Amino acid sequence: MGKQFKAGSAGTSRVRFVLFDAEVPDGEMGSLMQTIQNALRLPAPAPAVQRIATSPKSTPDTPLTEQTPDVVEEGEFEEIAAMPTPSRQPRQRRTVARTPKVIELDMTSGESLAAFASDKDVGSQAKKYMVCAAWLKEHRNIDAVTEDHIYTCFKSMDWSTNIPNFAQPLRDLKAKQQYFEKSDKGYEINHIGLAFVKRLADKAT
């Protein structure tokens, strides 16, 4: 049974720890000491691996050892605004003119349109429009005319109806020449327009 040691004992003990005990010739002592030193030498610690931080908050002044790329807190990354897509211009709808129609008109009784236009200069499209509107007002008591009235007159006179928009000349004569007034029923020829039609008779002679 081994000797029991008690704390606070006044006696002494001797401990001898022998690492190596050998008799070696003097010439080999140097190589023996080198072997012993190599055996007692602690293994070199593995080199520390430095990890490059990927967090957007790291800066060149922050030591690599203080960065914690494995932990990403919420809100660390700034939200990148989406690139705006070019806005498309809305396509302009192409307005299709309404196709005029023949309406019921008395073209022959009293002074017909043919007789009314016979002594007037109708060499242009605008003049034909003015003659039709003046005849409808003076001989058919129709103050406001539409594209249907003009179209019916053109058909009865066998004038060309190859006009993309039969209402456009009426709008132009009102806006540019002020020969018409616009009402809820159509275009009403005014006294300036009637005077223009009267002058057409003088130019035809």
* CATH class (in words) of the domain with range 113-204: mainly alpha
pLDDT tens readout for residues 96-154: 889 999 999 999 999 999 999 999 999 999 999 999 999 999 999 999 999 999 999 99
Domain-by-domain residue ranges, the chain?
113-204
The SS3 call for residue 140 is helix
Report the alpha-carbon distance of residue 107 to residue 128 in Å, rounded. 15
Least confident of 85-94, 152-161, 169-178: 85-94
What is the per-residue burial (b if ≥16 Cβ within 10 Å, else e) of 14-38? eeeeeeeeeeeeeeeeeeeeeeeee
